[in-house]
Every structure is written in C-alpha cells, then in structure tokens.
C-alpha cells in the first residue's frame, strides 16, 4: 500500500514541477496568469454569476493547458530536431496556433460576459 501512495505523491510532485517550470520559463504563461488574475478581480468586482464563473474559469484553464502543451511540444521538437527542419517548424507553429486560438476564444467569452456589466456601469454614471 505504501508504494501506491508514494506513486500518487510522485505523480503530483512531477505535475507541480511541470507547472512551476512553465511559470518560471515561459513569459507568455506569466502573461496568461496575470490576465487571469485581472479576470478574477473583475469577476468579483462585477459580481458575475456562477455560470459566468464556470465559463471564465473553463476558458482560463483551456488557455493554461494550451500554453503548457505548446511548451511541451516545443521542448520535444527542440530535443529531437535541434537543427531547423520544416516539419519541426510546422509542429511548433501548430502548437502556438492552438494557444492563440484558445486565447482568442477566452477573450471573446470574456467580452461577452463583461461588456454588459461595463455598459451597465457606464449607464449608471451617465
């Protein structure tokens, strides 16, 4: 039984090491975290609904996962193809495109959720 728990512990330890690595080595990941903090602050200030929180948190998670997958793919491609190769470049471009698509989707969802709150706030002050 001890081995089972040790394996689970190690799995979590390695996963947290990966998150830490992404935060420390990837400037875009730090930007995503900073923007996510801004979204959370705005969510509390505007009092978004539970459903809106679920959508916002889901979008943030998708962007974080896409960035981590992108980093993993770039790392493996750099390992197996240290010299330029068109297919290596294509793999890296596709991974970066996935991050961009996720970020655009998250931004659109954020606009759909927050614009009515912003317009309501502006109308109350006019």
Domains of the chain, start order: 20-112 (1.10.287.3610)
2 is in an annotated binding site: no
Catalytic residues: 67
Instruction: Report pLDDT digits (tens) over 33-72.
Output: 999 999 999 999 999 999 999 999 999 999 999 999 999 9
The answer to whether the beta carbons of residues 29 and 23 sit under 8 Å apart is yes
Task: Supply the pTM of this predicted model.
Answer: 0.89
83 is in an annotated binding site: no
Q: What is the DSSP string of 14-60?
A: HHHHHHHHHHHH-HHHHHHHHHHHHHHHHHHHHT--HHHHHHHHHHH
26 is in an annotated binding site: yes
Residue 69 and residue 55: Cα distance in Å, rounded?
Answer: 21
Tell me the mean pLDDT in the region 103-117.
98
Give residue 126's pLDDT: 81
Give the pair of three-digit tokens for residue 122: 């502006």
């Amino acid at each position: 039984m001890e081995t089972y728990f040790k394996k689970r512990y190690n799995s979590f330890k390695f996963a947290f090491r990966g998150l830490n690595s992404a935060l420390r080595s990837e400037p875009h990941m730090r930007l995503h975290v900073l923007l996510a903090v801004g979204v959370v602050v705005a969510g509390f200030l505007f009092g978004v609904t539970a459903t809106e929180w679920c959508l916002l948190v889901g979008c943030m998670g998708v962007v974080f996962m896409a960035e981590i997958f992108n980093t993993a793919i770039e790392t493996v491609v750099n390992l197996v193809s240290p010299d330029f190769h068109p297919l290596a470049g294509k793999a890296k471009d596709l991974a970066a495109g996935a991050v961009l698509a996720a970020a655009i989707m998250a931004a659109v969802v954020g606009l759909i959720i927050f614009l009515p709150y912003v317009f309501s706030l502006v109308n109350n002050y006019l």
